[in-house]
Amino acid sequence: METKLIRSEQAAEGTMSFHFERPAEFNFKGGQSIDLTLVNPPETDDEGNTRAFSIAAAPYENEIMITTRMRDTAFKRVLKTLAPGAPFKFEGPFGSMTLHNDTAKPAVILAGGIGITPFRSMVLQAAHDKLPHKIFLFYSNRRPEDAAFLKELTDLEKENPNYKFIGTMTNMTDSKMLWSGETGYIDGTMIKKYVTDLAAPIYYMAGPPAMAAAMRKMLNENGINDDYIRAEEFSGY
């Protein structure tokens, strides 16, 4: 499909959101992704002109939004400089890391850094649709300055009584902002503080490969079978 850039904005330090026109025929579920392609970019590299991005917009929103860390690659350099109206192509949606149907099972989401993008889509849609799922979103960052959508995800608790947001910061010594939430890495102790029965939920994870591996190991050690874990790695951003 073809689309055009609407606008871009800073979402956190070193992180930007890009908004695109949404074709009327394009439908997706929260948690899915697209392959986005630059059209005739002024520069390219060995990785090519296409990248996979989770859709950060919720299905009820009328735009396609992606949010990404801004590494120094040809793709990201071009993406950052394009003006509104710039043409793009995309394919999708892809992926099956979508919210489960069994409303009796809670959803426990473990997100690290830019791994939050598919879950913004998922939890906003759940609130919009007034789904009865119990949802616990654990969101780990180094500092509040690095955390995209932090206020929005916190405020969502007011809209959805079935949703609990647990933010945690691992390096507040380098932060200039106040933080009253959790600190340290997500672990079994932190999850048990909010989730009474660890065996009941479906678990969703997205973040850097090392974090995803650590989270899976932690869950397995707490008796959670891989059948109840849905994971996506964000390598390279």
The reply to whether 107-233 shares the fold of 2-94 is: no
Q: In this structure, are residues 34 and 119 in contact, taking their beta carbons and an 8 Å threshold?
A: no
Q: How far apart are CA 166 and CA 190, in angstroms?
A: 9
Alpha carbon distance 112, 138 (integer Å) = 8
Residue ranges per domain, the chain?
2-94, 107-233
For the chain, the residue count is 237
Six token digits for residue 192 = 């048990």
As a whole number of angstroms, the distance between CA 39 and CA 84 comes to 14
pLDDT, one tens digit per residue, over 123-162 is 999 999 999 999 999 999 999 999 999 999 999 999 999 9
Domain boundaries 107-233, corresponding CATH code: 3.40.50.80
Other CB atoms within 10 A of residue 214 CB: 18
Count of Cβ atoms closer than 10 Å to residue 155 Cβ: 10
Measured distance CA(136)–CA(194) in Å, rounded = 8
Classified by CATH at the fold level, domain 2-94 comes out as: Elongation Factor Tu (Ef-tu); domain 3 (2.40.30)
Task: Name the H helices within 48-103.
Answer: 74-81
Tokens standing for residue 2: 């073809």
Q: What residues pair up with 88 in beta bridges, in sequence order? A: 3, 38
Q: What is the pLDDT of residues 176-227, one digit of tens each?
A: 999 999 999 999 999 999 999 999 999 999 888 888 888 999 999 999 999 9
Nearest one of 80, 114, 69 to 7, comparing CA atoms: 80
Say if residue 133 is exposed, middle or buried (CB neighbours under 10 Å; 0-12, 13-18, 19+). buried
Instruction: Say which DSSP state 171 is in.
Output: -
CB 117 within 8 A of CB 56: yes
pLDDT band at 233; cut points 50, 70, 90: low
Model pTM score:
0.94
Tell me the pLDDT tens digit for each residue of 47-96: 899 999 999 999 999 999 999 999 889 999 999 999 999 999 999 999 98
Phi, psi of 55 (to 5 degrees): -85, 115
User: Is the distance from CB of 37 to CB of 86 less than 8 angstroms?
Assistant: no
One-character DSSP codes across 140-166: EESSGGG-TTHHHHHHGGGT-TTEEEE
Kindly state the helix (H) or strand (E) to which residue 117 belongs, with its residue range: helix 117-128
Q: Check pLDDT > 70 for residue 25.
A: yes
Other C-beta atoms closer than 10 Å to the C-beta of 42 total 10
